Amino acid sequence: MYIETLPVEAEREIKKVVEVAGYLWQREWAERNGGNISLDLTEYFEGVELELSQFAHNPLTIVGDGAGFPKDSAGHVFFVKGTGERIRELREPHLAGCILKIDETAEGYHLLWGGRGDPHFKPTSEFISHVEIMMDKQRSGSNHRCVVHSHPLELIALSHLPKCSSNENNFTEVCWQMLPEVRAFVPQGIGIVPYCMPGSQDIAVGTMEKLRNHDVAIWEKHGAVATGVDVAEAFDFMDVANKGAKLYLMCLSAGFEPQGVSEADMLLLKETFNL
């Protein structure tokens, strides 16, 4: 059994996913099945009566050394891309994605919607870490309900530059100094998770910790993760940060080290906009 009519708010949020998924593909930030988007839709399903025994149930598949779902995610409803599915195919979200509800012991999930109508449809292998991040945000009182992981070209390129990859303050400064908007709209800066295996517990915990006090977490030599109230906001953090990285690399490509917005002007921005 599947839900036929989604709550309008859930439909609205999934429409935004379709839009942003298109951007990620067009920007070359999500080749093949790279990149993921997850949304917590729980609040929109609060009044919806579900006879859960009617919906396909699957145990959680744990990859690598990963841990299970956090216990307080029991009963939460998420939209997530399927494992092996392409971001660009999220233009049909009921095929490349699904809506699932974590079961009451947080050891498995019920498929509520989408997933190609396959009762064994599995969420992306990054899903547990996405749930960890979203629950961590909620525990801290944040209104962020979305996680995006993608492969922004210039942010990745910059994570290969030792002076930036070894020091997140340098990484952040390099991006901030390139135009005032980066300072203003990525105010908490960029954190770096040193290279580790995708899907590992190290990368999951490292990302969760970095996103507690940064707007974007870079996975060294791999990609970026950001959260937001919705998918548009999560994308914006990554997009604006990437603009800084791109401008910096453009200057280096043109053969000069950029002068950058001065420290005094950056400070003035911080004070004026209360960043």
Catalytic residues, which ones? 126
Q: How far is the CB of 193 from Zn ion (least distance, A)?
A: 12
For residues 77 and 224, which CB has a smaller minimum distance to Zn ion in the complex? 224
Which listed residue (152, 223, 228, 244) binds Zn ion by CB under 5 A?
223
For residues 189 and 223, which CB has a smaller minimum distance to Zn ion in the complex? 223
The interface region with Zn ion, picked from 31-39, 51-59, 107-115, 264-272 by CB under 5 A, is: 31-39
For residues 156 and 174, which CB has a smaller minimum distance to Zn ion in the complex? 156
For residues 180 and 198, which CB has a smaller minimum distance to Zn ion in the complex? 198
Cβ atoms 244, 260 nearer than 8 A = no
Q: Which of 99, 127, 131, 87 is nearest to 235 (CA)?
A: 87
Q: How far is the CB of 148 from Zn ion (least distance, A)?
A: 11
Contact flag: residue 206 with Zn ion (CB under 5 A):
no
Q: How many residues does the chain have?
A: 275
Q: How far is the CB of 202 from Zn ion (least distance, A)?
A: 15
The interface region with Zn ion, picked from 5-13, 101-109, 117-125, 222-230 by CB under 5 A, is: 222-230
C-alpha distances in angstroms, 220 versus 107, 145, 152? 31, 24, 12
Query: With CB under 5 A, what is the number of residues at the site for Zn ion?
Result: 2
Please give the structure tokens belonging to residue 261: 């917005």
The interface region with Zn ion, picked from 19-27, 34-42, 47-55, 115-123 by CB under 5 A, is: 34-42
The interface region with Zn ion, picked from 81-89, 155-163, 221-229, 263-271 by CB under 5 A, is: 221-229
Cβ atoms 40, 134 nearer than 8 A = yes
Q: How far is the CB of 149 from Zn ion (least distance, A)?
A: 6
For residues 164 and 203, which CB has a smaller minimum distance to Zn ion in the complex? 203
Minimal CB distance residue for Zn ion: 223
CA distance 144 to 204: 17
Strand-pair category, 146-150 with 223-228: antiparallel
> Residue by residue, what is the 3-state secondary structure of 234-261?
HHHHHHHHHHHHHHHHHHHHCCCCCCCC
CA distance 207 to 152: 16
Amino acid sitting at position 132: E
Q: How far is the CB of 151 from Zn ion (least distance, A)?
A: 6
Q: Which of 220, 227, 16 is nearest to 130 (CA)?
A: 227
Q: How far is the CB of 225 from Zn ion (least distance, A)?
A: 9
Please give the structure tokens belonging to residue 229: 């109230």
For residues 34 and 108, which CB has a smaller minimum distance to Zn ion in the complex? 34
CA distance 186 to 213: 11
Residues lying near Zn ion in the complex (CB under 5 A) = 34, 223
